[in-house]
Amino acid sequence: MQTAWGWPIAIYLFLGGLGAGALLIAAAFEFSGKRYQYDFCPTALVGATVPGPLLILGTLLLIFDLGAGRREPWRILYMYTHFSSVMTWGVWLLTLFIPVALIYGFLEILDAFPATRQWLKSRRWLRWTAFLWNLPLRQTKRIFAGVGAVLAIGVATYTGILISAVGPAIPFWSTWVLPFIPIPMLPVLFLVSAISTGLGLTVDLAATLALGSVEQRLKSLPWIHLALIGAETLLLGMMLITALMAGGSAAKSAQEIIAGSYAIVFWFLIVLPGFIFPFVVHAYAIGLGRHSPVSGVGSGMGIVISGLFLRYLILISGIPAAL
């Protein structure tokens, strides 16, 4: 097992993926028009407002995990100009994504709660924001949703690219999509997992808690979930099989995950809550034609927690290559 990266990085990867996924779902609701079908859309509200704070928290953990980041946080500025480094791409992505997500969230709040606008207007110390009231709210929000969605794909994929870039040292992290396709699997897996956890948070959890009967508004929800769970299972399975076939420390990592020291975390904290339970719940919902709020919340929580453990497990199971 590698010991350099532990929980702080795993949580950062999780929050990055969750935030990016949530914003992608909100943007999808925005551009598909679903957002405006009802007076109140908790999915778009949560998907737009939550990513900014989550990414701020994740970035703080990232800085905290860097030894120099704790002693001399300003040294992170050096990372903006080293363009051949994957970390520099990430620093730029986070730098752009966080303000865009915060503005998108702010605009969504203004749209969902018109009283907020009145409250802001009435505050003397906020008079400098007067220029905002002349902007077309929904068009502006749409621009930020679009830019945010592009950056969100970058953030979700980047977390996988960052880990797979360490490939030569930890072969499991750079396992290819297939033994004959030299593209690292992690960026693809993390992107799908980000969308899945984003959907779990914004729809299964937030919308179910706020409304109860989500299936009336989003009839295709179980099918979307089944497709995402299927894709994630396929990608994770392919990654483990490719690692086993590659031999060496990559195979050792895969063995430890499937039947070794990490088997309980893998089967009971990832596969069961994040794959099996939501699959059964949503397959049952398709057959039944409706969703129980309890199963919706349970499936959402399972998907989110499994997303955290997926990243933690991939990090912790990395075994340095034999030199």
Partner 1 sequence: MLPSHWPKWTIILIALALAVFAVFFGLVLEPVAQAMMPRPTPTPILPMLHYAAPQSWDCIFCHTNYEKLRQFVADEAKLERLWIDPADIYSTHGRLGCVTCHRGTGNTQDVALAHQGLVPNPSDYREAAKVCVICHGNVRTDIPEKHIHTPHERILKGIREGWEVCACSNCHGPVAHGEKPLASHEGLAAYCMDCHQAKNVPPERLKCSGCHIAPHDIALDCETCHRSTRTWSNVRLAVHPVELTGAHAQLACFDCHKKPNFRGLRYVCSDCHQRPHTFGDENCERCHTSEGWRK
**Residue ranges that bind partner 1, judged by CB under 8 A:** 1-4, 7, 11, 14-15, 18, 40, 42, 45-46, 49-50, 53-54, 57, 109, 112-113, 201-202, 205-206, 208-212, 249, 256, 260-265, 268-269, 293, 301, 304-305, 308-309, 312, 319-320, 322-323
- Least distance in angstroms from the C-beta of 125 to partner 1: 22
Nearer to partner 1, 18 or 236 (CB): 18
**Distance, CA of 176 to chain centre:** 21
Q: What does the alpha-carbon distance between residue 318 and residue 175 come to, in Å, rounded to a whole number?
A: 11
Nearer to partner 1, 78 or 113 (CB): 113
Nearer to partner 1, 88 or 292 (CB): 292
- Least distance in angstroms from the C-beta of 147 to partner 1: 21
CA distances from 156 to 270, 298, 311 (A): 19, 24, 12
Nearer to partner 1, 87 or 109 (CB): 109
- Least distance in angstroms from the C-beta of 50 to partner 1: 5
Q: What does the alpha-carbon distance between residue 82 and residue 176 come to, in Å, rounded to a whole number?
A: 26
> Could you tell me the sign of the dihedral formed by the alpha carbons of 234, 236, 241, 245, in that order?
positive
Question: Which amino acid is residue 257, in one-letter code?
Answer: I
Q: Which residue has the tokens 């990513």?
A: 51
Q: What does the alpha-carbon distance between residue 167 and residue 220 come to, in Å, rounded to a whole number?
A: 38
Q: Residue 230: count other Cβ atoms within 10 Å of its Cβ.
A: 13
- Least distance in angstroms from the C-beta of 310 to partner 1: 11
Six-digit token pair at 298?
A: 């349970």
Q: What does the alpha-carbon distance between residue 320 and residue 3 come to, in Å, rounded to a whole number?
A: 10
- Least distance in angstroms from the C-beta of 260 to partner 1: 7
Nearer to partner 1, 191 or 319 (CB): 319
- Least distance in angstroms from the C-beta of 80 to partner 1: 26
Nearer to partner 1, 77 or 264 (CB): 264
> What separation, in Å, do the N-terminal and C-terminal C-alpha atoms of the chain show?
15
